């Protein structure tokens, strides 16, 4: 009978032993690429009659910041860990972990997770166009602007060896047609595509290679 009791205790949910019970151990965030800092909150409650000290909250990268790392949590009181995430030019999906360190030996480290979807301002169908020597064909890059506050402003290229034609499909969808004037010699260059909103501007590169 003692063996059966041990097995039952072993497989009881971790939360039953936790003094600090978090409302969520994982948060899902949707963040715009140009967001300076996106706030998040992990809410918790001390379920015990003992005071718990949050000693520190450690992050795994500089893109995640915590407002207040040390706290005293009185019995049966509630609290929140506040922080912010900065995309810093990242695009796509990302996952960041936080580690809450406490003075509770049964719960000395609590792992919290941020699952982040970073939404780009715009997308390019291609970021590099390549021609072989002697090939003067026209190549196409499709631009889709996903943030309504941004508009296409201009495109510039250091090299005069490329003809660039801009065709608007809609106000937020643009086709760039690019053809080299000469492919007799190898060349590496790039075009800068500029987008502007009322508050800021963003630049993206498309690389042109003649190989």
Which pLDDT value is given to residue 57?
95
Per-residue pLDDT of the chain in tens (211 residues, 90 and over written 9): 444 433 333 444 444 456 899 999 999 999 988 888 899 999 999 999 999 999 999 998 889 999 988 899 999 999 999 999 998 878 889 999 999 999 998 889 999 999 999 988 889 999 999 999 999 999 999 999 988 888 889 999 888 899 999 999 998 999 999 999 988 889 999 899 999 888 888 888 999 999 8
Which pLDDT value is given to residue 121?
86
pTM of the model: 0.70
Which pLDDT value is given to residue 21?
93
Which pLDDT value is given to residue 106?
85
Which pLDDT value is given to residue 9?
38
Give, as one character, the DSSP assignment of residue 88. T
């Amino acid at each position: 009978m003692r063996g059966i009791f041990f097995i039952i205790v072993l497989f009881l949910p971790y939360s039953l032993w936790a003094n600090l019970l978090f409302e969520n151990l994982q948060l899902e965030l949707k963040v715009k690429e140009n967001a300076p800092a996106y706030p998040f909150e992990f809410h918790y409650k001390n379920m015990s009659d003992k005071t718990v000290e949050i000693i520190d909250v450690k992050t795994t990268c500089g893109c995640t910041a915590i407002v207040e790392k040390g706290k005293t949590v009185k019995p049966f009181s509630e609290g929140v860990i506040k922080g912010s995430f900065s995309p810093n030019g990242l695009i796509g999906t990302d996952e960041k972990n936080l580690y809450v360190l406490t003075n509770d030996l049964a719960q000395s480290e609590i792992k919290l997770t941020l699952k982040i979807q970073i939404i780009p301002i715009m997308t390019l169908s291609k970021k590099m166009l390549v021609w072989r020597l002697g090939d003067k064909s026209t190549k196409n890059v499709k631009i889709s602007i996903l943030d309504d506050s941004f508009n296409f402003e201009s495109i510039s290229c250091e090299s005069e060896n490329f003809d660039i034609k801009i065709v608007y499909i809609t106000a937020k969808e643009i086709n760039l047609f690019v053809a080299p004037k000469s492919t007799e010699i190898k060349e590496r260059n790039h075009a800068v595509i500029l987008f502007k909103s009322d508050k800021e501007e963003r630049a993206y590169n498309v690389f042109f290679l003649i190989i």
